[in-house]
Structure 1
Amino acid sequence: MTAAAPPLPRTSAARPGRPAVLVYAVALAAYLVAIFHRSSLAVTAVDAADRFHINAAALATFSVAQLAVYAAMQVPVGVLLDRFGSRRMLVAGGVLMVAGQLCFAVATDVRLAVAARVLVGLGDAMTFISVLRIVAFWFPGRRNPLLVQLTGTVGQLGAVLSAIPLVALLHHVGWTPAFLTAAALGTTVLLLVLVAVRDTPHIGHVTAAAPDLGTVRRQLAEAWAQPGTRLGLWSHFVTQFSGSVFALLWGYPFLVQGQGFSPTAAASLLTLMAVGALICGPVIAHLCARHPFHRSVLVFAITAGTAAVWTVVLAWPGRAPHWLLVALVVVLAANGPGSVIGFDYARTANPVHRIGSATGIVNVGGFVASILLILAVGVVLDLATPAGRSAPSLDAFRWAFAVQYLLWLLGAVQVLRYRNAARRRHAAERTAVAVPAPAGT
């Protein structure tokens, strides 16, 4: 996004050496822990409501505060990333998330708890796109789709850590020790980043001087002007929110309070969802690499499949059978890897020195949708729950999750719109230079 110098030629483009693998592995561990911090509220939502004596709408503000900061910071973080590099951003993000978990561990009132989730969201915002920039600078371009999917997929192991282990720790030792342990885990990985991560394979490669505001605005406009960037944003929007909201906040209460699952069984289903993402990620990456002109077909397929299974779950009379809820979390598992297709659009539509900013723009999409859905579910649950009732009913959850259909419709229309715009631009570029451009839809 800024006037950062383009990457120097890689000395081992065909086969990255051990330093590249080490740098990527540590950066990936930082992202995994960021997902752990991000997801830690989901499996503790019922306990959080009791600890802070709040209703569903107030509980939603915890996640909304976290995700709103995450989404709002994506473009600024993209600019800072192009200016300062991945290592500094990963360190800053890690410090903020550890501070957030420390505050959450000792919080006894809502204001401090919300402030803690804001810190977690701010640090989380700096992590994923920093890892993607490391991939762009350390590995050859043809490996980018696979490594981007691998990053998003392996990162979901953080959700596994925040499911059964964190629930067990919470119920065994209590709220404060559980979140202090989470902060200690974040500190350990932060130290690894300080030791092992470098921005580029070239010691002499430095970032550019900070640009003036006019340059930032102009280059942001250039990134936004690419139809592929906006196609990536809406692809991220339509594929991510359902699985994200289920994993981040409302899935656990839906399973425990609505479907009658035990806390352990609900946490196990969330773990299954994370494991499913590990399986879906490489498959989606392979399909994107093999069929770059049909990535939008994958976006539509994932969206349609998710909506279809939710329809069956919400329409089922009474509590859904366990096999159907297993099917739901398996389908939701494809949402995270599916949203990564948006980043592949940003990569192929923008030069490498603008990847941080373009990726930041794309990353806003799914989290804005998630914020809207988290708020809507909380409000509808409160409206549909009679006064004096301690927990929402299954019917209340049905009405709340039905809000998703509006977001799916909006996202699908926009993906179709910008897919056509990207194809028209690609055709015009081919006509102008008589050489096929690498970007595809």
Structure 2
Amino acid sequence: MTEPDPAPTRRAWLVWGVGLSVYVLAVFHRSSLAVAGLAASDRFDISASQLATFAMLQLLVYAGMQIPVGLLVDRLGSRTVLTGGTIVLSLAQAGFALASSYPAALVARVFVGMGDAMTFICVLRLVSSWFPGRRVPLVSQLTGNIGQLGAVGAAVPMTWALGHLGWTTAYLTAAAIGPVLLVVLRFLLHDHPERKHVRGTALSRRALAASLRASWFQPGTRLGFWVHFTTPFSATMLALLWGYPFFVKGEGLSPTTAGSLLTLIVVANITGGPIMGWAAGRHPWHRSTTALSIVAAIVAMWTVVLAWPGQAPVWLLALLALVTGFGGPASMIGFDVGRTSNPATRLASASGIINQGGFVAALLVVLVVGWVLDWRTPGGATDYTPSAFRWAMSVQYVAWGVGALQIWRYRRRVRRGTGRDRVEQGSTMVDRPMAA
């Protein structure tokens, strides 16, 4: 029988809290433009498509930075990379506050995306270093869920600040939070219970490429990638761009009701995290089964909504929002599979590969939905019809199909490489991969 893991120490919770605070700040900066759309349009004299470029470019930079950041964390440790990320975020937000032209604002948002990318993987690495193996899935879920409070914090405070303080003062005030957290980080955050810094071995370009290949060709990393690819993109697509138009134009809801449904996605994301974390820690052998079950539930809800004759009732759309929102915490299962499938020396680079999955899927689906809507409604956004949205939202089935097939494929490979008893120990891989 496996002995129970020791309880985490107070110091472990303190270190996690400091790292989590930096991640919350990153999400705050990432989301701070969401409530400033009209103000940004006026300040930079830009169109709606130019405004949308801010969000798309920032996400592209975030996704593209995941592997480089993972390699940096494996080499330099979380403490150093989090320090750099906090500095980049603060300077970028200050630059955005002072930008007076659209190109300058775009450059600032690129660096916001870079700084944002340097936070989440660092905190996951800290969780793996400071917490017992069976606690890691739950604390990782809490990291992702609590981090989303940064988006909530960006809504009301930034709306008030933009209205009362003006653009420059509001964003400079937000940027000033970073240096305060930086001081706390430098005093309290260590990479490991026994060491302030954990440095990896300096590697040549060839060795780095070999390490990255080893991470990618590890079946557990690929399984984690496809779990992260398949589970969250529908919720991201709705929350990022197409949810509001779909509910208003496609389903005939009022703007207030549409906004409430989008809020339900966040509620599901936050409440689902502890459940997914508990399930992954308690039943690690069935992690991929849990992910496939969530995907099946999301597909089923979309099928009912899209097949409903006429406009779907509000209660059904609320169920859609809630079930789709569970895809976010389900995606965190991918990181836990990667953790138990890779040695600690390349844990962050594997997490970076996995973290790309959901963002790649979301960007592809967002773009293709837009293309289909343009095809079905050449007149533009004012002419969007329920029929056009049914066509457009159906493109998700392709991504779900590809992702679910790959999850099934790679979970069989991972399970063949280990035994169930080893999986249920819950620790990071030492000599061979663990199943899911």
TM-score range, shorter chain: 0.7 to 0.9
Compute the RMSD of aligned alpha carbons: 3.2
SS of the equivalent of 2:340 reads: helix
SS of the equivalent of 2:184 reads: helix
Offset from partner CA, 1:107-154 (integer Å, 9 cap, x none): 565433432332222112111110011111112222111111111121
User: Equivalents in 2 of 1:254, 1:52: separation in Å?
Assistant: 27
Moved more, 274-283 or 164-173: 164-173
Q: Per the alignment, do residues 352 and 366 of structure 1 end up closer, same or farther by CA in structure 2, a change over 3 Å counting?
A: same
Offset from partner CA, 1:83-113 (integer Å, 9 cap, x none): 1111221122222233333444455654334
Q: Which residue of 2 aligns with 1:141?
A: 133
**Is the aligned partner of 1:27 residue 2:19?**
yes
Q: Which residue of 1 aligns with 2:401?
A: 409
User: Equivalents in 2 of 1:391, 1:106: separation in Å?
Assistant: 37
**Is the aligned partner of 1:343 residue 2:335?**
yes
Residue number among 280, 296, 303 corresponding to 1:304 in the alignment: 296
Following TM superposition, by how much is the alpha carbon of 1:77 offset from its aligned partner in structure 2, in angstroms?
0.7
AA at the equivalent of 2:435: G
Equivalent residues in 2 for 1:14-413 (5 A)? 14-42=6-34, 52-56=45-49, 58-105=50-97, 107=99, 109-163=101-155, 165-167=157-159, 178-203=170-195, 206-255=198-247, 265-317=257-309, 319-387=311-379, 390=382, 392-413=384-405
User: Equivalents in 2 of 1:29, 1:76: separation in Å?
Assistant: 23
Offset from partner CA, 1:181-212 (integer Å, 9 cap, x none): 54344454444323332212224654145211
SS of the equivalent of 1:15 reads: coil
Check the 8 A contact 1:41/1:248 in 2, yes or no. Answer: no
Q: Which residue of 1 aligns with 2:427?
A: none
Offset from partner CA, 1:12-68 (integer Å, 9 cap, x none): x82333222111011112112222333344555577667654345x55433332122
Q: Which residue of 1 aligns with 2:434?
A: 439
Offset from partner CA, 1:200-259 (integer Å, 9 cap, x none): 222465414521122212222222221111000001000121112222333344445655
Check the 8 A contact 1:349/1:439 in 2, yes or no. Answer: yes
Q: Per the alignment, do residues 361 and 117 of structure 1 end up closer, same or farther by CA in structure 2, a change over 3 Å counting?
A: same
Moved more, 156-165 or 210-219: 156-165
Q: Which has the higher relative contact order, 1 or 2, with Cα contacts under 8 A spaced 6 or more apart? A: 1
Check the 8 A contact 1:160/1:274 in 2, yes or no. Answer: no
Offset from partner CA, 1:353-391 (integer Å, 9 cap, x none): 221111111111111111212222333344444447657
- The answer for unaligned runs of 5 or more in structure 2 is 423-430
Q: Per the alignment, do residues 252 and 40 of structure 1 end up closer, same or farther by CA in structure 2, a change over 3 Å counting?
A: farther
Check the 8 A contact 1:78/1:359 in 2, yes or no. Answer: yes
Moved more, 226-235 or 110-119: 110-119
Moved more, 338-347 or 33-42: 33-42
AA at the equivalent of 1:329: A
Following TM superposition, by how much is the alpha carbon of 1:351 offset from its aligned partner in structure 2, in angstroms?
1.4
Check the 8 A contact 2:32/2:158 in 1, yes or no. Answer: yes
| TM-score for the superposition, normalised by structure 1 | 0.84
Check the 8 A contact 2:342/2:433 in 1, yes or no. Answer: no
Check the 8 A contact 1:42/1:247 in 2, yes or no. Answer: no
AA at the equivalent of 2:414: A
User: Equivalents in 2 of 1:367, 1:396: separation in Å?
Assistant: 24
User: Equivalents in 2 of 1:276, 1:374: separation in Å?
Assistant: 21
Q: Identity of counterpart residues, as a percentage? A: 51
Following TM superposition, by how much is the alpha carbon of 1:79 offset from its aligned partner in structure 2, in angstroms?
0.9
Offset from partner CA, 1:253-278 (integer Å, 9 cap, x none): 44456556666654444333222222
- The answer for unaligned runs of 5 or more in structure 1 is 1-12, 431-435
Check the 8 A contact 1:45/1:252 in 2, yes or no. Answer: no
Check the 8 A contact 2:85/2:119 in 1, yes or no. Answer: yes
Check the 8 A contact 2:63/2:360 in 1, yes or no. Answer: yes
Q: Per the alignment, do residues 95 and 267 of structure 1 end up closer, same or farther by CA in structure 2, a change over 3 Å counting?
A: farther
